[in-house]
Every structure is written in structure tokens, then in C-alpha cells.
Amino acid sequence: MHTQDISIMINSLLENGQFLTMSRQQPDVLKNRVNFSLANNTKVCIQGPGIISFAPQVSGDKAIILSCGIHGNETAPIEICEQYVSDILLGNMAVAHRVLFIFGNLPAMETGTRFIKENLNRLFSGAHANVQANANTYEVARAKELEESVAQFFNLGGAQETRYHYDLHTAIRPSKNEKFAVYPFLHGKAHSREQLSFLLACGIDTFLLSGSATTTFSYFSSHQFDAHAFTVELGKVQAFGQNDMTRFSQVQNTMKRFICGQAIEVKSFNNGDFSIYQVNQVINKSQNDFALDFADDLPNFSDFTAGTLLAHETGCEFRAQYDGEAVVFPNANVAIGQRAILTVVPTNIE
């Protein structure tokens, strides 16, 4: 891109703050890395379409990633992050720490779908290299690009920085616990009570403790970079412009204060404030006739008595093993070999 074109692009962003709009409508304009500074001396780095970081003149002790749109139809987190980026570019919000914003699946946002060819949230930790049938799909290339962006961002920081990654989503179906977070598998490390209390201040009181390595974005940051990382589910999928943003005011305001280095009122950790679950069964689809044995609109965290039939396919039935065992993320329409249901049982972090 010519110097004049770069200047025009930067001036446009400083005038209207519409980084996501430019990323969606003119991704080629943003394909090359661009660096510039805001009037308050905050350094801006555009790493590519939908990938932008901010660093204050004097950085704090945190490196924070907020990602959204890993599934293109999960619009509320996209709208939240879009507002943050716009406010920072327009000088209405000043970051106190290094912050990277990632808008994941740009083409899927345009089509209003979860993905185009591949589920992007199943392609991290190198899983993109194992996709054969559609090796040149957007999602395969995007997973690699996002991994590289996360690595570059975290590796720029010094030893004094604590790393955080909140991957913001909304769920396909409603939930008995509207807002919840998946805590990636920690390979024996202790769960952070401070992080649970921080997310409680965001209005999230339900946590699912993952019991194994996965290929999700949050696990990638947690395992590869020792970041405090979570997949955060903020409610149910809605179309762009159809979200009741008042339902997200608590998480929106708390995350903003976190980014800006402002005081946050956080309660001391108490197990009684939380609903915490651990994974009991990971049920994968292995036949085309895989089917759920409960209603399509059954909310996440609905529980069953032991022995209840949850799903079936040729040659196999899947049943609840314990009274109170609940289902999360049930989806019979996943690809062969992918997870169709998680079942969870109550626990605590003592």
C-alpha cells in the first residue's frame, strides 16, 4: 500500500472509528501491518483485517486479549468489542494496558453463519494443519493467522506482564445459567480464584472446568502462553442489531474498567457464589444418523436422572451416568468426529 493510501486509511479510522466495518468490507486494505499513534500517544498496530492492538505510552502490568466473532453469527460480543475499538480510536476511552482485539471470522459475519467451511474454534493449537479436505479454506488460514497474532502480542511483553484472554461468545441455544464460562484444562495447575471473582464482577457465576486438552482458542492461549483464559458465553445468539445490550452492561462496564486500569469492586472468593461444573462425558458424533433424545430448544445446563437416554446413533446409545448430570452445547449437526454433547456434573474448586 502506498504511503498516501495508508494516510487516508488512518485518517478515516481516526474520524469514524469504524475498524470492523473496514475489516469486513475492505479486508485487502488492512492486509499489511500498519502502525500509528493516537493523540494521547497510545500506539496502534493493525496486524491484519479484524486484528488491532493498542499500547499506552506507559504500559501497565497486563497484556489483555479480547476476541469475538470466532463464530460469525455470535453478534453481541462483536458489538461490544466494536464499541471498545471505536471509543479508543476516537479518543473516548484510554487503555492503561496493552490490549489486542480480535474479530475472528469476518466472512461468516457477512453471511450471518457460525462459519463458512470449518468451525474456527476447533482449529487452534495447530489443529488447522490437520484439516485435509478443505485445506485452503478461510478458517484454516485464519486459525493460523490468529495463533501468530496472539504469539506476537504476548511475546512483545516483558516478564512483569500477566496475560489474559477472554474469548467472547454467545450460545446456539438458551441456557438455564444465561452467562457462563469454560475454564480450559490447566494440566494440574490451580484454578485462579481471583479470576473467578473477577468474572463474577462481570456477571458470570457459572463455570465449566474442562477436563482435557482441546482445540479451542482459549485453551491455545492458556496452554501455550500461560494466560488466564476463558471461553465466555454471554447469552443466546441474535442477529446484528437485535441484541438487548442492557443484558450485557455488567460485563461491558467491568471489562472496560479492566482495560482502562480503573478500580473494580471484586468480592472475596466464596464457593457459594458460584455454580461450578466439571466435564463428565464428551460425546462425539460418529454416524450420520446421530440424534439427540431431547428437545432442540432444551436450555444448556438442563439436568437428567441417571440412565436417561441423551442421544443415539447406529450401534450406540448415550445415557446420563449420574443424577443431576447436565448437558451443555448439544448439537447434532456437527461434523463426523466432532463433539456433539458435553455432560457436566456439579463440583467446586476446593
Residue 166 DSSP SS3? strand
Residues 6+ apart with CB under 8 A from 172: 114, 236, 237, 329, 331
C-beta of residue 250 within 8 angstroms of C-beta of residue 234: no
> Of 194, 233, 265, 350, which residue is the catalytic one?
233
Q: Residue 236: which of 310, 330, 301, 300 has the closest Cα?
A: 300
Question: What does the alpha-carbon distance between residue 185 and residue 212 come to, in Å, rounded to a whole number?
Answer: 5
Question: What does the alpha-carbon distance between residue 331 and residue 350 come to, in Å, rounded to a whole number?
Answer: 32
> Catalytic site residue 233?
yes
CA terminus-to-terminus distance, the chain: 55
What are the phi and psi torsion angles at 258 (to 5°)?
-65, -45
Structure-block grid coordinates of residue 246: 442492557
Q: How far is CA 183 from CA 44, 115, 161, 193, 255, in A?
A: 30, 23, 21, 12, 18
246 DSSP assignment: G
Q: Cell 467472547 maps to which residue?
A: 168
Structure-block grid coordinates of residue 84: 471498545
Point out the residues that are catalytic. 233
